[in-house]
Chains A and B, each alone.
Chain A
Amino acid sequence: MTAQVERGPLRRVVIAGGGTAGWMAAAALSRLSGNGVTQIVLVESEEIGTVGVGEATIPPIKTFNAMLGIDEDEFVAATQGTFKLGIEFAGWGREGEAYLHPFGAYGADISGVKFHQIWLKLRAAGIPLPLDDFNMSATAARMGKFDRPGADPRSALSQLDYAYHFDAGLYAGFLRTYAEARGVVRHEGRIAHVRLDGESGHIAALHLDDDRVIEGDLFIDCTGFRALLIEGALGSAYEDWSHWLPCDRAVAVPCARGGPGAGPLLPYTRSTARSAGWQWRIPLQHRTGNGLVYSSRHMSEDDATATLLGNVDGEITGDPRPLRFVTGMRARPWVKNCVALGLASGFMEPLESTSIHLVQIGISKLLALLPDRSFPAHERDEYNRLTAIQWAQIRDFVILHYHANARGDSTFWRECATMPIPETLERKLALFRSTGRLFRYDDELFTDANWTAVMLGQGVMPQQHDPLADTLDQPQVRDMALRMTDAFRRTARAMPAHADFIAQHCAGRPI
């Protein structure tokens, strides 16, 4: 006899694990209790540390905060945050060179011809202009300036786009306050056992180590690398991508800001290529976050730690923390009545600051596809289908940084340059190399501007521009281009310095 299919809204959603992912989910799902039925609970233990990945973010985080109705200044102050206009990649294409991957678009399309094609055309005609000069965020970043974008769509300032650097631990705390004020119930305790329903195989309850039992209809696994629910209880397989992204270790250390020679507060993340990986530098108000991501096949932990400690620009304020990971994703992040978010769902190195974003898009998909108690298969299938597409797109973009390098200084970089890459990326590269054409697939996160920045930054230069650009009048286009850079430059000069903007609007309390 088949069991009666249960209908009706979820009675209880149980989030296993706090941390950034858990509290982001709790804050976003708190609105569900508006139906008078659904209760949101979160189980976490003070004893278990959080990994606190992704202290750098990308622009869509603004949408997430806006959806929660969070005040920006309050949030930046509470998280010791700073503003981020892009990422500087030092030594990635070849040693000694650097490029900026800024947020926002380059220039403006003219008569349906994409701006980067116009840039290529001018370059071919012997008028090489720095690409950065055509991006508002890049122009401001180079001057160390920041201001919020203007509302007038015709102004240069409206072209600015930005995200944040923040202390992920403080962000989780900030969201906890938010979520608890909206009815989310927090249980302190360790999960000792995950009990499955004998008939359906769904998760029935979490048993805590003090014998408390937390039952629920839907479970969200935010237990990090341990993946207690999705893997421990439900055995969802992990898809390993380390043949494309060989880095499998990181070591992180904070340092004080404003040491000798540290310079002004930068409005961007810096990523510096090292012999077997790369080092991040994330400027916050109260400290600077540093870390080295590397391949253990090519570098020892001692060498990695020494490289990191020898390359920070302030007094070291904590012990180096090692981290191990395997890049990849849960092939099915939603199984039965359990959805994995954050590290439990997979790991993508933070090269393009996508960790928090992956949590965010997981949550928004879950909200859009939230099931009722009958758990129809279609919602789960659609969630898994979309997740797989989104992860693979980001994966391809990250691989591009490694693959398109002309460093040749180490086995690591030589292997990356010659390794086989996914067919999807292969096709994108072939098309760009030929005529600089780019097509955005399935609403992907990264736009033409993102791909252009990294392709050209990594030294992938099209053999020629799109023939369509030849229909444009060259002197006229050149003048338009020069007017654009002029407007961006004048606008950036008039902006406040990044540190001054923060001091005036959103300074955090001294720690």
Chain B
Amino acid sequence: MPIERVAIIGGGLCGWLAASMLARKVPDVQIIVLSAQGEERGLGIANGGEVLLPQDIETVAATGWRGGDLLKHCSASFVLGTAMSGWRGDGMPAFVPFGEIGAPLGPVPFHQLVAVARARGHAVNIANYALGALCAQSGRFAPPRGDDASVLATLAFGLTVDTGRLRDLLRADARRQGVTEAGMWTGGADREGTTITALHTAAGDGVDTDLIVDASGADSPLAGAFEGWAQWFPFDRAITALRPARSVPPLYTDLAALADGWQAFVPLAGGVAETVVSGSAQGPDVQSFRTGRQRRAWEGNLVRIGAAAAQHDPCAGLQLHLALADAARLVALFPANRDCRAEALEYDRQWRETSDCAFDYTALRLARNGAAGPVWDALRATDLPERTQYRHDLYAGTGRVVLHDGEVFETPGWVAQFEATGILPQRADALANALPTQAITAHLGKVREAMLAGLGRLPPHATLLAEMHA
């Protein structure tokens, strides 16, 4: 029996993302979106601005919208990485760029060269060797052309988006593709065994369905067995605000460690989305949230995506990325038949891998840093899951980066985060150690020169924006 009808629960950004992608990729299937309580928290905490990572820009194109459309319609702005302050014990700020950092010397990765150079008494700041960091610092940028083989190709950019505007854009698009809306879901459902056959609506007429996509956030009534993460992600209050800003938006997001939490700024065209996350905030604007994940994302004919499946502490800015990855995975594994056990198993395997990797990245940022204060001291004293600690130890020992299938970041992203949180390898690997100092410093010099030459060819970001909006 083929799948004919899909009901999506949640008319927030998360739900419309799935609706829009499915409508284009499986046009023969009827798609119905239901509104739900808390749907604005489908990605996690409700936030006026979110980040599309460089790899997401291609994924989001499956909705029919390209980066250029987002710049025009979603107050999108270019970002090249994150400036992190207060996360290192020595008080030094750091920049975590997207894209490459430096260049390898033969078989020796760049960060190993840095480790050797430092061990031999040379101070090296990796931000000086990453074009993304240099651009962000100096406010120069233009997106590299696809066929550029020069140093500019090491530059990778993400986009910030106004989440409300992106939601409206996707909704309008999905409706043009034939997606319909069925009003408010009551939380009730008809079941045959473990299969959900219909969802109850406030209007009274139920919606029959073959497959249900739950995009209504962590508090969904359809939630199942849950694994909580409070011991590693102790912050559970967020305050978000979208403020206007008239200056040229900076080319980076900003993340500062506070005494009892953290604060992030996501630049948008004409505004900035601000988030403060802590364990103590009080007041009417406070969103409280619970981190953790479902034991299974795809159960029977129910697929949970976004925060309905897993909610991480959002300090790594991955909320939109993870929901987008879920929607894309659902498209890639969209079942041809109602018997979808093979698809469900594979979906869950891939989802858990991605979720594990995002957890590791976030947990190492939060619980293995040099931020000052008793809250952070307690986090540093917490045992991490074995897999997460293993990544830390392997890097802290000899700078090895462990990479799994579900990785959000490749080696440069991990290295930059470790640097930004003050985790430095105790020693470099043997191949790097076999290199003479002169060869290393000459290479570093060459890389730096190439980066600066590349930077010089880029226009000021303000010029680019003026041209775009002219």
Interface residues of A (CB under 8 A from B): 9-10, 31-35, 38, 67, 112, 367-372, 376, 378-379, 381-382, 427, 430-431, 433-435, 437, 439, 441-443, 463-464, 466-468, 470-471
Contacts and interface: CB of A to CB of B under 8 A. Distances in A.
22 contacts: A10-B430, A31-B431, A31-B434, A38-B430, A368-B400, A376-B397, A378-B394, A379-B394, A379-B400, A382-B402, A427-B345, A427-B346, A430-B345, A431-B346, A435-B335, A437-B346, A443-B405, A470-B26, A470-B28, A471-B25, A471-B26, A471-B27
Nearest to A7: B427
B346 A378 contact: no
A362 to B, nearest CB: 16
Given A9-B434, A67-B107, A369-B429, 14 more contacts: A9-B433, A10-B430, A32-B434, A34-B434, A34-B436, A368-B431, A369-B400, A372-B430, A378-B393, A382-B402, A430-B341, A434-B336, A435-B335, A468-B25
Interface in B326-370: 331-337, 341-343, 345-346, 349-350
Contacts of B350: 439
A443 B403 CA distance: 10
Given A378-B394, A468-B334, A34 B435 contact: yes
Contacts of B430: 9-10, 32, 35, 38, 370-372
Contact of A467 (B62, B334, B345): B334
Contact of B343 (A10, A32, A382, A434): A434
Nearest to B394: A378
Contacts of B429: 368-370
Contacts of B263: none
Given A434-B336, A435-B336, A464-B336, A376 B398 contact: yes
Nearest to B112: A368
Interface in B269-313: none
Nearest to B434: A35
Nearest to B62: A112
A382 B390 CA distance: 9
A315 to B, nearest CB: 46
B457 interface: no
A439 B342 CA distance: 13
- Top 10 closest pairs, chain A to chain B, by CB: A35-B434, A370-B430, A430-B342, A34-B434, A431-B342, A378-B394, A434-B342, A467-B26, A435-B336, A378-B397
Contacts of B107: 67, 367
B333 to A, nearest CB: 7
A427 to B, nearest CB: 6
B434 A38 contact: yes
Contacts of B380: none
A32 B332 CA distance: 45
A372 B427 contact: yes
Interface size class of B (residues with CB under 8 A): 35 or more
Nearest to A114: B332
Given A367-B431, A442-B405, A467 B336 contact: yes
B448 interface: no
Interface of B: 24-28, 62, 107, 331-337, 341-343, 345-346, 349-350, 390, 393-394, 397-398, 400, 402, 404-405, 427, 429-431, 433-436
Contacts of A10: 430
B414 to A, nearest CB: 14
Nearest to A372: B430
Nearest to B26: A467
A471 B397 CA distance: 50
A114 B134 CA distance: 38
A487 B434 CA distance: 48
A304 B334 CA distance: 48
A137 B433 CA distance: 41
B35 to A, nearest CB: 27
B407 to A, nearest CB: 10
Given A431-B343, A434-B342, A471-B27, A379 B434 contact: no
Nearest to B341: A430
B351 to A, nearest CB: 12
A433 B427 CA distance: 49
A427 B404 contact: no
Contacts of A471: 24-27
B26 A468 contact: yes
A474 to B, nearest CB: 14
Contact of A370 (B332, B337, B431): B431
A442 B404 contact: yes
Contacts of A433: 342
Nearest to A462: B336
Nearest to A381: B390
A92 B228 CA distance: 50
Contacts of A379: 394, 397-398, 400
A382 B434 contact: no
A343 B26 CA distance: 50
B330 to A, nearest CB: 12
A509 to B, nearest CB: 33
Nearest to A371: B430
Contacts of A35: 430, 433-435
Nearest to B3: A467
Contacts of B433: 9, 35, 372
A438 to B, nearest CB: 10
A488 B62 CA distance: 31
A446 B27 CA distance: 33
Nearest to A429: B342
Contacts of B27: 470-471
A320 B26 CA distance: 59
B434 A427 contact: no
Contacts of A31: 431, 434
Contacts of B24: 471
Nearest to A440: B405
A8 to B, nearest CB: 9
A382 B394 contact: yes
Nearest to A369: B400
Contacts of B402: 382
A33 B433 CA distance: 11
Nearest to A444: B405
Contacts of A468: 25-26, 331-332, 334
Contacts of B336: 434-435, 463-464, 466-467
A440 to B, nearest CB: 8
A441 B404 CA distance: 9
Contacts of B346: 427, 431, 437, 439
A153 to B, nearest CB: 11
A264 to B, nearest CB: 39
A434 B338 CA distance: 12
A34 B346 CA distance: 46
B380 to A, nearest CB: 20
> Which among B332, B333, B342 has the highest number of chain A CB atoms within 10 Å?
B342
Contacts of B62: 112
A433 to B, nearest CB: 8
Contacts of A9: 430, 433-434
Contacts of B400: 368-369, 378-379, 382
Contacts of A442: 404-405
Contacts of B349: 427
A33 B24 CA distance: 58
